[in-house]
Amino acid sequence: MLKDQIVAPFRMAAKTLIWIEKMIIAVLNSILKIFGLKPMPIPSRQIPQLSIRPDDILSEVGKHDAEVGLPTSDKFLKPTTEAGHTLYRYACAQSPNERSTIDLSALSDDQQFWLYQLSDADLSRLSKAGLDACTRAMDGKKCGVGGLPKFERQETAEKPKVESPLAERIHAYRELPAFA
């Protein structure tokens, strides 16, 4: 199917060019006959059959991309989480009754508490912003939707064991409010 969609316009253009060539030669032959000269032979042209399939071309392109080191299309996809999907489904629900049927088990207690703080207008803006914005909001990051209540994760009681001064500085930097 894809082959026919790609090849059909080119095949039609080639047939048109062959027809135009034959018409020009016929007109020239008519003029040559009037003057008593020998007419030109009309060439018989054939459109060559395809020996390469579109699948061969696509596999060759994919092979070339892998050799060069270009990322595959999967790497262009934005990461999502189950919590982001849950928030998106919850935000897209049209009524409180519909929202009550959505399973919130993928959300932590903090995320559920934050979710219940959102107004209908907040949920409407989140649904319009899309899945990526919902995933970022569930991660406590800026999501492009202004006016949402700030989502803060509760810190766990256990801190990771720091083994070097550099690692200690990195962990301290990551805990700064501007980094999160």
pLDDT tens sequence across 75-117: 555 667 788 889 899 999 988 888 888 888 888 888 888 888 8
Long-range Cβ pairs for the range 20-24 (8 Å, 24+): 21/45
- Mean pLDDT across the stretch 24-51? 83
Q: Give the model's pLDDT for residue 55.
A: 73
Contact indicator for 123, 113 with CB cutoff of 8 Å: no
At 130, the amino acid letter reads G
Q: Of the ranges 18-22, 39-43, 72-76, 77-81, which one carries the lowest mean pLDDT score?
A: 72-76
Using pLDDT thresholds of 50, 70 and 90, give the confidence band for residue 156.
low
pLDDT band at 135 (very low <50, low <70, confident <90, very high): confident
CA dist 87 and 138 (Å) reads 8
What pLDDT does 27 receive?
Answer: 93
pLDDT computed for residue 154 by the predictor: 64
Q: What is the pLDDT of residue 68?
A: 55
Concatenating the DSSP letter of every residue in 71-140 gives PPGGGGSPP--HHHHHHHHHHH--SHHHHHTS--TTS-HHHHHHHHH--HHHHHHHHHH-HHHHHHHHTT
Check pLDDT > 80 for residue 28: yes
Q: Single out the residue of 118, 75, 79 nearest to residue 99, CA to CA.
A: 118
Report how far apart, in Å, the C-alpha atoms of 180 and of each of 136, 140, 173, 176, 177 are. 11, 7, 10, 7, 6
pLDDT of residue 20: 93
Number of CB atoms found within 10 A of residue 180's CB: 13
For residue 16 the two structure tokens come to: 């048109």
Asked if pLDDT for residue 162 goes beyond 60, the answer is: no
Pick from 131, 178, 134, 180: nearest CA to 155: 180
Per-residue pLDDT, 148:
83
What is the separation of C-alpha 157 from the centre of its chain, rounded to a whole number of angstroms? 40
Average pLDDT along the chain: 79
| Token representation of residue 43 | 């060439």
Q: What is the pLDDT of residue 151?
A: 76
Structure tokens at 66: 């892998």
Predicted confidence band of residue 72 (pLDDT cuts 50, 70, 90): low
- How many Å is the maximal CA-CA distance in the chain? 105
